[in-house]
Amino acid sequence: MKIKEITSQHGRDFTALFECEHCGHTYRSYGYDDDNFHRNIVPDMECPICKKKASKSYRHLGTKYRGEEMNRKERSRDYAVIIVIATITLLVTLTGALLKKRIKKER
Ligand SMILES: [Zn+2]
């Protein structure tokens, strides 16, 4: 199935007209506006009439919230960088402390 038209939307919940790309059957149903729904769930829906799923040429709709999802990914990448820097700083500090101890012992 594919979404022919989103008829109403409240937040991420929407009502849409779904259309079968094989037999042209349409019906109204509900959806959830995130990337997974558009990318994976819609093309995997079986047509109630001809029982077929979307063809391989299926092109999904983008979510209204795409920008927000991208920002979230960028933010988690920022966290990863901070964690790496913090770990390196900690290792350098520990190594420095150990070296100082060793130097003291040698004296
Ligand atoms: Zn069909």
Q: What residue spans define the domains of the chain?
A: 1-64, 66-107
Q: What is the pLDDT along the chain (107 residues), one digit of tens a residue?
A: 999 999 999 999 999 999 999 999 999 999 999 999 999 999 999 999 999 999 877 888 888 876 666 677 777 888 889 999 999 999 999 999 999 888 877 76
Cα separation, 65 vs 35, in Å, equals 8
> What single-letter DSSP state applies at residue 16?
E
Q: What pLDDT does 74 receive?
A: 75
Q: Which of 16, 103, 22, 1 is nearest to 63 (CA)?
A: 16
Handedness of CA 61, 66, 70, 72 (dihedral sign): negative
- Cα(58) to ligand 1 centroid in Å equals 14
Query: Which two three-digit tokens encode residue 65?
Result: 């919230």
> How far is the centre of ligand 1, averaged over its atoms, from the C-alpha of 99 (Å)?
72
CA gap 77, 70 in Å, rounded: 11
CA–centroid distance, residue 15 to ligand 1 (Å)? 19
